[in-house]
Amino acid sequence: MSGPRVACKTIGCRLNQAETARMLAGFVAAGYEVVPFGGRCDVALIHGCAVTHKAERDTLKAARQARRSDPDAIVVVAGCPAEIHGAACGAGGVVDVVAGQADKFCLPALLCRLWPERFGVYGNTTATADLVPRFETTRALIKVQDGCDFRCAYCVVPAARGPSRSRPLRAIAEEARQLADAGYKEVVLTGANLGTYQDGPHRLVDVLAAIEVVPGIERIRLSSIEITTVERMVIDYLAGSAKLCRHLHIPLQSGDDRILQAMGRRYTSAQYRATIEYAVSRVPLLGLGSDVIVGFPGEDERALARTERLIEVLPFSNLHVFPYSPRPGTPAASMPQRVPAAIVRQRVRRLLDIAARQRRAFAARFVGREVAVLIEQVNTRGVGRGWTGEYLEAELAGANMRVNEVRRGRVSGIQERGCVLTLLEPPTPPPQP
């Protein structure tokens, strides 16, 4: 007899994705079968996000989709929206179960209690912390930290995830070993405020050092890291590391000091610029990503112009531009001088145009250089696609392309949109007689 089927959709950040992998491992341990989202299933799980209004809207849209796809399924909304809005997430009869941050890791047991006749023998209570996360991608995510104490004026994360707390270093290293044994060659470290990781005397660079010696792990990435934490220690470590990818994502949010102060950020534009300049001095050809919020209350043309100038003088390779989204309960939600939506949209387009030019310019610097690519897809023509260590999307033509292999090649050019590299792989030597 086959077990019940669970389908899952994740909305939001890499931390959510890492937690989804652990939640699904719990379902599998309880006897469930994981099936694609949008079809017939017994449980439709939406692991949602509340960082922006759009993310919340996408969460509820996915719940409605699940209900239409299978009216008999138990629809679950879990994570940040459930923590913030509680039972209100279930309004309208679309959602059957609303699971906050604690409940989402014991859903099989919860479903067993609520519907014993349907899930009675599938309530395995194995602690998800003891399970190897279940990923459908070549890249595995390791959650090392959760929560945030910074309380930026626009951010709902402290309310949704609570205070900063870190996993034991030993548990993280063991998970990396388990993932390597499962065949993963690249891991990404993630958290709500990654740079605040601390386990006794151990900081984030100690986590990196512990994973770097794990056999089988060939590449390590970091998700977003805030300046004013341990960014310079990480930059120094990166300069001498054999496995940490040459890419950092350091949020900016605004290039105007008045707006940064109103946001509750902990640095000035000059301090941010100094950090980035230090990074590229230590690690040449460093891939640099950042986040920018456009239309924060009180942002005028002069403030936006300062943001534009700062972005233009720094060698960003990837820029995420977000329109400001008021979050209930945050200080910014009640601030005056709101920027009209039409103006926000125009400003977003301006910054995206700058970002596109910079990304293309960064990619062009690699023409003629040798890079390494983790192959994530291979098409019917045998062409592999993946990402370089600098986080440039790449296309690799060569012999015997296989998913989850790291291959090297020389960049021969860039394609029209500027973010895909065409690589020439040296031919595979013939087998020895």
- Per-residue pLDDT at 418: 44
What pTM did the predictor assign? 0.92
Which homologous superfamily does the CATH classification assign to the domain defined by 5-124? Methylthiotransferase, N-terminal domain (3.40.50.12160)
CATH topology of domain 370-424: OB fold (Dihydrolipoamide Acetyltransferase, E2P) (2.40.50)
pLDDT bin (cut points 50, 70, 90) of residue 430 is very low
pLDDT(14) > 60: yes
- Per-residue pLDDT at 87: 75
pLDDT(419) > 60: no
Percent of the chain with pLDDT over 70: 94
pLDDT(124) > 70: no
Q: Hey, which CATH number is domain 139-364, 3.30.420.10, 3.30.1180.20, 3.80.30.20, 3.40.640.10?
A: 3.80.30.20
**Distance in angstroms (rounded) separating the CA atoms of residues 18 and 10:** 10
pLDDT(416) > 80: no
Percent of the chain with pLDDT over 90: 79
Convert the pLDDT of each residue in 142-187 to its tens digit: 999 999 999 999 999 999 999 999 999 999 999 999 999 999 999 9
- Per-residue pLDDT at 400: 81
Task: Specify the range with the lowest mean pLDDT, choosing from 187-201, 280-294, 392-406.
Answer: 392-406
Q: How do the domains of the chain map onto residue ranges?
A: 5-124, 139-364, 370-424
pLDDT bin (cut points 50, 70, 90) of residue 91 is low
Mean predicted confidence (pLDDT) in 272-301: 97
Q: What average pLDDT is seen over the chain? A: 91
